[in-house]
Amino acid sequence: MTDTYVNPLRDATDRRLPRVAGPCALVMFGVTGDLAQKKLLPAVYDLANRGLLPPGFSLVGYGRRDWDDEQFTDYVLESVKERARTPFRAEVWRQLAEGIRFVTGGFDSDEGFEQLKETLREVDETQGTEGNHAFYLSIPPDGFDQVIEQLRRHGLVDKSRTTPWNRVVIEKPFGHDLASARELEEKVSSVFSSDSVFRIDHYLGKETVQNMLALRFANQLFEPLWNRNYVSHVQITMAEDIGIGGRAGYYDGIGAARDVIQNHLLQLLALVAMEEPASFEAGQLRAEKEKVLAAARAPRNLKSHTARGQYTAGWAGGQRVRGYLEEEGIAPDSQTETYAAFRVDIDNRRWAGRPFYLRAAKRMPRRVTEIALMLRPAPHLPFHLADTEQLGANALVLRIQPNEGITMRFGAKVPATQMEIRDVTMDFNYGTSFAESSPEAYERLILDVLLGDPPLFPQHTEVELSWKILDPILDYWADKEHQPEGYAAGTWGPPSGRTMLERDGFTWRRP
Ligand code: BG6
């Protein structure tokens, strides 16, 4: 008898065929922001350069600057030349530039939104965008509500219609807590139908994150280990060496937990902990993620199993750097955390009693995002303890970035010794194993929005479930007595981050 294997990728469309978007306009709010300048605008060019945008395409910027189309086009060109991943090709740029428009207006400006409507009518005619419009809200969360209302008021969206389509793209964080996320959802769903809402979590657009699904469900090798019988605990780390830079306005009052744990890290947790979906169709994938998020919860003892810090002056990249409170635009008594760590327990058969530890922080010694499955020790070692002194726990580490790949750590005999055993690692590197370079997450996600392809976008239920995990922790931290501990920039965080694991008999990996 042969083993039959049902491929979970079976009903995905053939990913080898380039998927080219149909005629459409992409309207961007927040074009002068950091994200648009560094990531979104270059990604649009890279898509055009890869031949994935249609001839009937238009990019419309909306903002307060008193720019004409030409000035905005120059601005886009500058960001493309500085940041695009693919080489600059004049003919590609010429064609893209033909469809670039700018509309001046604030979020509250009726005149601005009327002008936007007019501009879209014009590009539908001259560029052949056929009335298909995506609205990308790359703006601070407190503006979502207003812009969505303006789109409705000015008749830029028709919920009852599927062709031509209107879609909205919302950057995280979606809400500030569970209650505000629900309120926002009410607003969004009163204007857009649920399949027209694309909530961005750019981690899901990363190739290495998608590779987690391949690793888990395309192989036989790992699955037997992927449970409480073999794994002692899981560590998910997102460390950044940068400080908050010029993002004080966005970051202060939000902090590390809302900025990246509620979304990126809990999505990583869901993908690493979920059961195999019946297929990679959006509904199936979401169902599995939702199930595992519903089984996940904040630790029972919040004092012992959460940690919160704020960087003080220190060293980064060989330079002396300021502390968070000295950064421009930060209130001197700000209590926003730049380091957040906590334990999550998953109450299901696969993971009961095997904690997941999440940590995210700015001004760490280096930039690294990884998921480490730490395995339980071998039940018995038939060696002298002295010979195994340098033996740690076996680990399977999924390196999300940089040096994307996978590391396995296990013990091996040191050559020419009687039987001394030491940890060694075995590496898979994306960069050396494949000739193709990885597209930026935003290329993939913008293209998926234009194609109306939803699997890589979290649904509202997932957003709610993530807030449900986080809310008790945020409430606990809101208490004046539980203020962030200082840690020097360029170090691995405050002592409470360490003791949190030590209490359970573990230590953080040094990634
Ligand atoms: C964003 C956060 O979502 O992710 C930023 O708002 C963070 O604070 C960024 O710096 C990191 O993204 P990446 O892709 O560099 O890990």
Q: How far is CA 282 from CA 268, 319, 471, in A?
A: 16, 46, 27
Which residue's CA is the nearest one to ligand 1's atom 13? 203
Which of 3.30.60.50, 3.30.360.10, 3.40.50.720, 3.40.50.2300 would CATH assign to domain 204-502?
3.30.360.10
Amino acid at 132: N
Residue 66 contacts residue 104 (beta carbons within 8 Å): yes
Among the atoms of ligand 1, which is closest to the Cα of residue 240?
Answer: 10
Among the atoms of ligand 1, which is closest to the Cα of residue 203?
Answer: 14
Q: Which fold has domain 24-171?
A: Rossmann fold (3.40.50)
CA distance 263 to 458: 9
Residue 272 has a pLDDT of 98
Sign of CA dihedral 307, 231, 370, 411: positive
Ligand 1 mean position to 326 CA, how many Å?
A: 21
CA distance 21 to 88: 21
CA distance 136 to 147: 10
Ligand 1 mean position to 217 CA, how many Å?
A: 27
From 85, 240, 268, the mutation candidate for ligand 1 (largest count of ligand atoms within 8 A of CB) is 240
Residue 18 has a pLDDT of 64
Residue 344: alpha-carbon gap to chain centroid: 19
Residue 481 contacts residue 340 (beta carbons within 8 Å): no
Residue 392 has a pLDDT of 86
Among the atoms of ligand 1, which is closest to the Cα of residue 369?
Answer: 16
Six-digit token pair at 84? 């695009």
- Provide the strand spans (E) within 414-473: 421-429
Q: Give the closest residue to 310 by CA, choosing from 244, 231, 249, 401.
A: 244
- Contacts for 370 with CB less than 8 Å, ≥ 6 apart: 235, 236, 237, 397, 398, 399, 400, 509, 511
pLDDT profile of the chain (511 residues), mean per 10: 37 55 96 95 97 95 97 98 96 97 97 98 97 96 94 95 94 94 96 95 92 93 96 98 91 96 98 95 94 98 97 94 96 96 98 98 97 95 82 94 94 91 94 86 96 93 97 95 95 97 95 86
Q: Give the closest residue to 45 by CA, choosing from 37, 167, 166, 205.
A: 37
Six-digit token pair at 388? 């195994």
Amino acid at 434: F
Ligand 1 mean position to 312 CA, how many Å?
A: 20
* Reported pTM: 0.93
- Contacts for 355 with CB less than 8 Å, ≥ 6 apart: 233, 234, 299, 343, 344, 345, 504
* DSSP, res 277: P
Confirm whether 264 is a catalytic residue: yes
Catalytic residue among 133, 264, 305, 460: 264
CA distance 341 to 305: 8
Residues with CB under 6 A from ligand 1: 240, 259-260, 369
Residue 389 has a pLDDT of 81
From 264, 336, 359, 400, the mutation candidate for ligand 1 (largest count of ligand atoms within 8 A of CB) is 264
> Under DSSP, is residue 358 helix (H, G, I), strand (E, B) or coil?
strand
CA distance 213 to 277: 10
Ligand 1 mean position to 449 CA, how many Å?
A: 20
Residue 17 has a pLDDT of 52
Residue 419 has a pLDDT of 87
Domain ranges of the chain: 24-171, 204-502
Among the atoms of ligand 1, which is closest to the Cα of residue 251?
Answer: 8
CA distance 368 to 348: 29
Residue 350 contacts residue 273 (beta carbons within 8 Å): yes
Rounded to whole angstroms, the maximal C-alpha distance in the chain is 82
